[in-house]
Amino acid sequence: MSLALAFRDVGKRFGETRVLEAFDLEVPSGEKLAIIGPSGSGKSTVLRIAMALEGIDTGRVELMGETLWEGTRRPPERELRRLRLQAGMVFQHFNLFPHMSVLENIWRAPVDVAGIGREEAETRARELLSRVGLAERAEAMPDQLSGGQKQRVAIARALAMRPPVMLFDEVTSALDPEMVGEVLGVLRDLADQGGITMLLVTHEMQFAAEIADRVVFMDGGRVVEDGPPSQVIGAPVEPRTRAFLASVLRGADVRAD
């Protein structure tokens, strides 16, 4: 099976801080991969490197069979722009464009970047909005939406470019608890539909266990445990994974009270 994404012995540091160290990860096309781990473990950095928002220091990263990063070499801007079309990203803080309507947020990039006709792009945008359950909010401005609605629009916006790989960076972490469900519902539909490679950095263990084909636990910039959800979340082997899950579950218990 072909690989959507491959990290090979990747090292990355911010100043003195090592964020990734001898990091290896292969993601086959079509896989739903959940990345879990404590904050500062480097999991968001993995997504940002795959989206070509950050470079690396050592090693090599391949996206859809093409080299994206190799050591500190930075590909020319035109090359980066072409490669970025292979991936789409949804951010923790939505990052919707506040000066555009919900619909324009979705059709704008396909028109500007992919050269699709405005009418076709708008039709597709409306379809995507229906898919995330927000057809009736097409003309609203982002500031008029709830957090959960904003995040669903952000997912539709990223999907509009039809990238083969979708990266979700803690997309429910900034939401009020009652809005987490509607966003997870959209992700579940997307996962069920198949065809797209999905990488999810998440703190929602139960959700990860439910939709992921595979779970990676990261700590200190490395992969500590890697396997099916039943193992990594259900019955972790590594002591560090156990400790992490225990602390997360304690948090969940406290919230349930």
Query: Where does this chain bind another protein (CB under 8 A)?
Result: 51-53, 77, 81, 84-85, 87-89, 91, 93, 95-99, 101, 108-109, 112-114, 141, 143-144, 154, 157-158, 161
Sequence-distant (6+) residues with CB within 8 A of 15 are none
Q: Is 114 or 243 the residue whose CB approaches another protein more closely?
A: 114
CB of 257 to another protein, least distance (A): 31
Q: Is 37 or 110 the residue whose CB approaches another protein more closely?
A: 110
CB of 17 to another protein, least distance (A): 19
**Contact assessment for residue 115 and residue 78, using Cβ atoms and an 8 Å cutoff:** no
CB of 111 to another protein, least distance (A): 10
CB of 237 to another protein, least distance (A): 35
CB of 188 to another protein, least distance (A): 23
CA distance 84 to 48: 11
Q: Is 116 or 209 the residue whose CB approaches another protein more closely?
A: 116
CB of 51 to another protein, least distance (A): 5
Sequence-distant (6+) residues with CB within 8 A of 126 are 103, 135, 138
How many CB atoms are closer than 10 A to CB 174?
Answer: 14
What is the DSSP code string of 125-175?
HHHHHHHTT-GGGTTS-GGGS-HHHHHHHHHHHHHTT--SEEEEESTTTTS
CA distance 251 to 166: 28
Q: Is 141 or 209 the residue whose CB approaches another protein more closely?
A: 141
Q: Is 85 or 245 the residue whose CB approaches another protein more closely?
A: 85
Q: Is 107 or 217 the residue whose CB approaches another protein more closely?
A: 107
122 token code pair: 């708008």
CB of 191 to another protein, least distance (A): 20
What is the DSSP code string of 29-93?
TT-EEEEE--TTSSHHHHHHHHTTSS--SEEEEEETTEEEEETTB---HHHHHHHHTTEEEE-TT
